[in-house]
Amino acid sequence: MVEKIELIHEGKAKKVYSTSNPHELLLEFKDDATAFDGEKKGRIREKGALNLAISTLLFQYLEKENIPTHFIKTISPTEMLVKAVSIIPVEFVVRNWTAGSLARRMGMEEGIKLNKTILEFYYKNDELKDPMINEYHIEAFNLAEKKHVEKAKEYSLAINDALLRLFESVGIILADFKLEFGVDHNGEVILADEISPDNCRLWDAETMEKLDKDRFRRDLGRIEEAYREVLKRLETRR
C-alpha cells in the first residue's frame, strides 16, 4: 500500500505527493489542461488517465531501450509511483518536423521534415514563460552540472530514435516533444515528468491529422478522442 502523505507540489497537469519512502513520490495526473504558459485553461475529460496510460507504455518501452526513467509502477488509473529526483530546470525539446514556435521563429510553414534533428533548451520558469536558452546559459547560471547536461542530451536523442521507430510502427509522425530530466539520490540522470500528447506533437501519418494538445491550443475539438486514439494504437504494440 502506497500512502499519499503530503501534497508537496501542484503543477499545471500533475500533483506531486510525498510517500513513506523518501526516495519515492506519487504523481497524480489531472484532467486540467493549460496552454500558452497557463494563459488558456480548460479541462479535457479523462485526460489524466489517458496521459498516465500513454506515459506508462512509453516509459516501459524506453526502459527496454536502456533509457532510465523515474517510473516505478502504476497505483491507480490516475496515480503513478515514481523515483524522487531533483528536477533539472531545463526543458529539452526535440524536433523532427517544423511546427509551433520553431515554425514561427523561422518564418516557415508547419509540417516540413527537418534535414537534421534539432535539440533546444528552455529555462523551466513559468513566470518568464520558459525562455529559450543555450548550453552557455545553463553553465553560466549553474542550472545543471555539465556532466548531467551531457547525459540528458545523449538520452534525448536516444529517446527520439526509439520513439520515432515506435510511433512510425503505429502510423504516427512524431513531429516534436519536450522532455524533463532529474537527478536521483544516486546522482544518476533519469527521465522524469511524462511523455504524452500534452508534450508531444503527434500527427497521423496518412492524413496529417493532429493527435495531440494542439487540438486544445487551437480549438480543433475531439481532443479526448485524439488522445484515446494514440493510446489505442500504442496498445497494439505492447
Name the residues that contact ligand ASP, by CB under 6 A.
12, 34-38, 213, 217
Among 81, 100, 117, 133, binds ligand TMP (CB under 6 A): 100
Nearer to ligand ASP, 33 or 166 (CB): 33
Compute the least distance from the CB of residue 121 to ligand ASP, in Å: 16
Residue 58 found at the interface with ligand TMP (CB under 6 A): no
C-alpha span between 221 and 113 (Å, rounded):
26
Q: What is the dihedral of CA 220, 225, 231, 234, to 10 degrees?
A: -70
Stretch that binds ligand TMP, among 19-27, 41-49, 51-59, 95-103 (CB under 6 A): 95-103
51: left (phi over 0), alpha (psi -120 to 50) or beta: alpha
Compute the least distance from the CB of residue 1 to ligand TMP, in Å: 33
Nearer to ligand TMP, 76 or 134 (CB): 134
Residue 14 found at the interface with ligand TMP (CB under 6 A): no
Quick one: cell of 212?
Answer: 495531440
Which of ligand ASP, ligand TMP, none does residue 102 bind to, with CB < 5 to 8 Å depending on kind? ligand TMP
Which of ligand ASP, ligand TMP, none does residue 42 bind to, with CB < 5 to 8 Å depending on kind? none
| Contact call for residues 22 and 71 (beta carbons, < 8 A) | no
**Amino acid identity, position 147:** K
Among 28, 79, 130, 229, binds ligand TMP (CB under 6 A): 130
Residue 201 found at the interface with ligand TMP (CB under 6 A): yes
C-alpha span between 181 and 66 (Å, rounded):
15
Which of ligand ASP, ligand TMP, none does residue 156 bind to, with CB < 5 to 8 Å depending on kind? none
C-alpha span between 200 and 214 (Å, rounded):
9
Q: What is the dihedral of CA 48, 77, 85, 39, to 10 degrees?
A: 10
* Secondary structure E strands in 124-199: 132-133, 172-179, 181-183, 189-191
Compute the least distance from the CB of residue 49 to ligand TMP, in Å: 19
> What is the helix, strand, coil percentage profile of the chain, to 5?
30, 35, 35
Summarize as ranges the residues that interact with ligand TMP (CB under 6 A). 93, 99-102, 130, 176-178, 199-201
